[in-house]
Amino acid sequence: MKGRQFKGHGFEQPRLPSRLGYEAAGVVDAVGPEVDAAWIGRRVAPLPGFDESRHGVLGDVAILPAHTLCEYPERLTPEQAASIWVPYLTAYGPLVPIARVAQGDFVVVLAASSAVGLSAIQIARDAGAAVVAVSRTPAKKDDLVSSGASHVIALEEDDYVGRIDEITGGRGARVTLDPIGGPLVERLAMAAAPGGIVVEYGVMSGQPAPLPIAPLIGKGLSIRGYTLNDVLGQPETALAARKYILERLADGRFTPRVARTFPLERIVDAYQFVLTNQQMGTVVLDCSR
């Protein structure tokens, strides 16, 4: 669930009347006239990228394009299955095909307690990288370490650039994954390794981000934006991402983290909980109750 989108601050504005929601899990109970009837009865979690205003999934029934359907591994609960695609695909694109994270890399993950952040920790660790999880406060430090982070930085009390220098032995972070943006980007660039990459995939700060020209030139950095379309918009990349994620979900290397589940009739409470920033992972609405 996306608190900023709920408040009208998302990249795309809904066309009213509109539904919300890309992420869901359920059982197919009917198909259209040109869709394989073998889908009926299967447990699926749809891939994102469809028209959310038309096919939003926040409800007890959703009508989705057949090409989005994807069966999920049996080891997952429906709540976990509803938490697969947006977090893992968002983290996959920057870390795997773009940055090609590998053994020995230092990877910085900001907003690390979010669903995307926790997915990024799992992906980077699976590749053999050391993960530096960044959070606003130290309150979630122990939970982030138990989730796979090698180090935790709390922005409210730590010197970010100094801590990265200390953690990496002066090498800097080769890969930085950031949904915050704003003035923080300058510090991220200062702490990056020569030839490193900073991937921006959100604007949580709501503030302008100055271009850090000195470290950009001096270190030969790459700073690039990212959306899910970078993966889903290319059929071969989308297929590779789907295969990569499903294999690791099936064998237990990856497990979606569900922070809390609310019944559908408490949807307002669910979004208010998201906005408190207390959660570790995804907040799910249970529409079966």
Which domains are delineated in the chain?
3-82+260-286 (3.90.180.10), 86-230 (3.40.50.720)
The CA distance from 86 to 284, in Å, is 13
The CA–CA distances, whole Å, from 83 to 23, 74, 150, 218, 249 equal: 7, 14, 24, 40, 12
Which helix (H) or strand (E) segment holds residue 44: the answer is strand 43-44
Percent of the chain with pLDDT over 70: 94
Percent of the chain with pLDDT over 90: 81
pTM of the predicted structure, to 2 decimals = 0.92
- Please say if the pLDDT value at position 3 is more than 60: no
Terminal CA-to-CA distance of the chain, rounded, Å? 18
- Please say if the pLDDT value at position 13 is more than 80: no
The C-alpha torsion from 103 through 109 and 115 to 121, rounded to 10°, is 20
Residue 278's pLDDT band, with cuts at 50, 70 and 90, is confident
Residue 1's pLDDT band, with cuts at 50, 70 and 90, is very low
Highest mean pLDDT among 11-15, 258-262, 274-278: 258-262
Mean pLDDT of the chain: 92
The CA distance from 127 to 124, in Å, is 5
